[in-house]
Structure 1
Amino acid sequence: MTVPAVTRMGSWVLDRRGQGRGVRITRHPELHAINLSIWRESVCVGTVHLSPVDAAEVVQAITGQLAELARPAPVPPVRAAGRVDELEARIAQLEQQARAPRPAGWRRAVEKLVAVSSVHPFGKPAPPTPTGPIGVVR
């Protein structure tokens, strides 16, 4: 942002986001006022004329907001030790399961199909499957 010239009666505060934004504060003794103007690049996009009393209220409001920002963030409450122990045990269990070898996906699918196909649709068990070598008859 190209900052326009400011007289000895004014000052600039640039927006931290950049993009040519800023606020110009100018004292006008002939009006007994302070002028706040909002700028984008070198174009004034809005103004507010404040009496000394109004300007003091703006300063007080800004000071109050700064004081709120300066307060430390609230500390989250500490959870009961029993709950923490329970969560740690669950995490350990999940980590153990993640380390255990699992059969390949196709193997699990075949095992599930075998288990499902061993039950008759009407609740009767399927005939036993032959054990031993099976020959192909043509």
Structure 2
Amino acid sequence: MTVSPLPRHGASLTGRDRSGRTLRIAQHRESSRVVLSVWQDGTCLATVRLAPEDVSALVAELARTLQADATASQIRPTG
């Protein structure tokens, strides 16, 4: 897939580990789906279509993962 404009309802997050890598988040109201797509420069590498309940589960898992990481960093021994 090649470059396509972002839908009106969406966002793009820049990757921090590779130049030109982005995650696009697009809401498709007509199909009640949110599409996550991974892009490298102008090429779409992968997509995942999520139902609303899947988006809620993804957000909860991201929050849980961040919380677990924060907790682990607080109990690491120093020195």
User: What range is the shorter-chain TM-score in?
Assistant: 0.7 to 0.9
Q: Which runs of 5+ in 1 are unaligned?
A: 77-138
Aligned to 2:15: 15
Aligned length: 74
TM-score (norm: length of structure 2): 0.82
Could you give the per-residue CA deviations for residues 31-79 of structure 1, whole angstroms, max 9, x where no partner exists?
0010000101111011000000011111111010111122213336xxx
Q: Which has the higher contact order (CA 8 A, sep 6+)?
A: 2
Read off the aligned partner of 1:64 and give its amino acid letter.
Answer: R
Q: Which runs of 5+ in 2 are unaligned?
A: none
Percent identity (aligned) = 30
- Return the alpha-carbon distance in structure 1 between the equivalents of residues 30 and 4 of structure 2: 22
Q: Cα distance, 1:18 vs. partner?
A: 2.9
Q: Cα distance, 1:14 vs. partner?
A: 1.0
Structure with bigger helix share is 1
Note the aligned Cα RMSD (angstroms). Answer: 1.8
- Return the alpha-carbon distance in structure 2 between the equivalents of residues 50 and 7 of structure 1: 16
- Return the alpha-carbon distance in structure 2 between the equivalents of residues 16 and 4 of structure 1: 22
Bigger Rg over Cα:
1
Q: Secondary structure at the match of 1:17?
A: coil
- Structure 1 segments, 4+ long, off by >3 Å, are none
Q: Cα distance, 1:6 vs. partner?
A: 2.3
TM-score (norm: length of structure 1): 0.49
Structure with bigger strand share is 2
